Amino acid sequence: MARVVVLGAGIAGHTAAMVLRRKLPRDHEVVVVSPKPTYNWIPSNIWVGVGRMKAEDVVFELAPVYRDLGITFHQAKATELWPEGGALEAKPHVVAESTGADAGPTLRIPFDYLVNATGPRLNFGATPGLGPEANTVSVCTNDHATHAAAALQAAIARMRTGERLTLVIGVGHGLCTCEGAAFEYVFNVDFALREAGVREKARLVFLTNEAELGDFGVGGTHMLRGGYRVHSKTFAESLYAERGIEWITGAHVQKVEPGVVHFETLDGEDHVLPFDFAMLLPPFAGQPIKAHGRDGTDITADLFAPSGFMKVDADYTPKAFEDWRASDWPKTYQTPRFPRIFAVGIAFAPPHPISKPRKSKKGTPITPSPPRTGMPSAVMAHSVAESLYGMIALDLPGPTRTASLAEIGASCVASAGASWLRGTAASMTMFPVVPDYEKYPEFGRDLHFTFGEIGSAGHWIKKILHHMFLWKAKGRPGWWLIPE
């Protein structure tokens, strides 16, 4: 019997655990370790953040789902990894601290195979004054989004009395990722202001570390739209201009004081931006897990990059950006030194930025980090689960499935306002996620599968996907027929 331990129950971890449990014979055990008792369908936090949904619409309890599926669940936070075993536990194991209401002693959970899908540590501390505990709101969790919705409604109430307010939405650090989430939120806020009849009372500003709109951390892309080749910069700028949303690009937020954002731009200039409401996303870091050799020596640097993300089968050799190739990106997500350990989703360390690295004239890095969320997270998790099935049940010598971001595509339906009759969404696809200029020398991507459009149909699709993916995540009948 083999035991597979999955760290994390987000999109990647939950997908890996469910596929493993469905594929593996029942004499093999699947264990999930996650600090939260609930699953959060994060893409819909955007709607929670403007009051269009409640937190209970985007979360559900994990324990009943895992019990029905036959998955062992520990509500705990992994803190140590012993990939060779140690004095207190001979087998490779994870040390985890219980986080439930009835938290017990520290757990030592042995494993035969491990999937690290811990997701990001929301590093609000990287920017002084950033975050819900300080001076800005967030939509990164359902609780954050609920708080953001209340703050937005308070701002709307003030505008209804005649006040003119400045609302700032974007990212709160020069190395942030997930610009797409800020993109969605600013358009949903714009829509909410219009629905409330106060749009003319609001100055709406989008603040981003992207060198230009439409970069999204993937270096931007050319796409087909209406039969024409259009760059995502043009596509994005038109959306902002049509809605009267100002934008500031190439920005690194230095600190946030009550009612004031301080930021630096690529030209090296310092700026201040007063605000009445601000939703700024934090940079991501890896979860703080220490790794130990059998004798207790610290081998954290062997398994994890300085960012805290796990090293996998990528080429991490230092190179100039221009010298990187699509083939440098990981395919199997297997760790080189410990082949029974894998990392997927945000938990793996990317080998290099997809967007061109930039620094301000003062030397401050201002470059979006590579996105690894949503559909790509689920695809790579499914791939690793299939590989583990082969290695465990079929006794295959190694991974058989691959899901390199340079070989898979991604689809995104970005809400621009939630309403069945008046809502819209930007529907975008790209293939592959990481440009491959050797295979597609003109644009780095296949334009037959890279396109963008905005309209009401996109909103209907987004709403349908919300219900469809929650059905899947809850393990309802036929869940495995729903694609990633």
Which DSSP string do the residues of 37-54 spell out, in sequence order?
Answer: SEEE-GGGHHHHTTTSS-
Of 442, 368, 451, 438, nearest in space to 407 by CA: 438
In-domain check, residue 375:
yes
Q: For residue 33, list its beta bridge partners.
A: 7, 74
Q: For residue 414, list its beta bridge partners.
A: 426
CB crowding 235-270: b at 16 or more within 10 Å, else e: bbeebbeebebebbbbbbbbebeeeebbbbbbeeee
Instruction: Collect all residues with Cβ–Cβ distance below 8 Å to 476 and sequence separation of at least 6.
Output: none
**pLDDT confidence of residue 320:** 94
Report yes or no: 39 and 79 within 8 Å, Cβ to Cβ: no
In-domain check, residue 35:
yes
3-state secondary structure of 146: helix
Q: For residue 61, list its beta bridge partners.
A: 38
Number of structural domains found in the chain: 1
Of 39, 43, 45, 47, nearest in space to 15 by CA: 39
For the chain, which ranges sit under pLDDT 50? none
In-domain check, residue 329:
yes
3-state secondary structure of 379: helix
- Using a 10 angstrom Cβ sphere, with 0-12 exposed, 13-18 middle and 19 or more buried, the burial of residue 317 is exposed
**Token representation of residue 397:** 């010598």
Q: How far apart are CA 215 and CA 329, in angstroms?
A: 19
In-domain check, residue 69:
yes
Range of the domain at 375: 3-121+285-393
**Token representation of residue 339:** 């082949």
Report yes or no: 3 and 92 within 8 Å, Cβ to Cβ: no
Amino acid, res. 43: P
In-domain check, residue 436:
no
**pLDDT confidence of residue 229:** 85
| Statement: the pTM of the whole predicted model exceeds 0.85 | yes
Q: How far apart are CA 313 and CA 252, in angstroms?
A: 31
Report yes or no: 239 and 225 within 8 Å, Cβ to Cβ: no
Amino acid, res. 415: S
Q: Distances in Å between the alpha carbon of 91 and those of 3, 95, 112, 298? A: 11, 12, 8, 17
Instruction: Collect all residues with Cβ–Cβ distance below 8 Å to 422 and sequence separation of at least 6.
Output: 456
Report yes or no: 458 and 424 within 8 Å, Cβ to Cβ: yes
In-domain check, residue 482:
no
Q: How far apart are CA 286 and CA 122, in angstroms?
A: 9
Report the CATH number at residue 356. 3.50.50.100
In-domain check, residue 206:
no
Q: How far apart are CA 236 and CA 221, in angstroms?
A: 11
CB atoms within 10 A of CB 348: 28
Of 51, 55, 95, nearest in space to 77 by CA: 95
In-domain check, residue 89:
yes
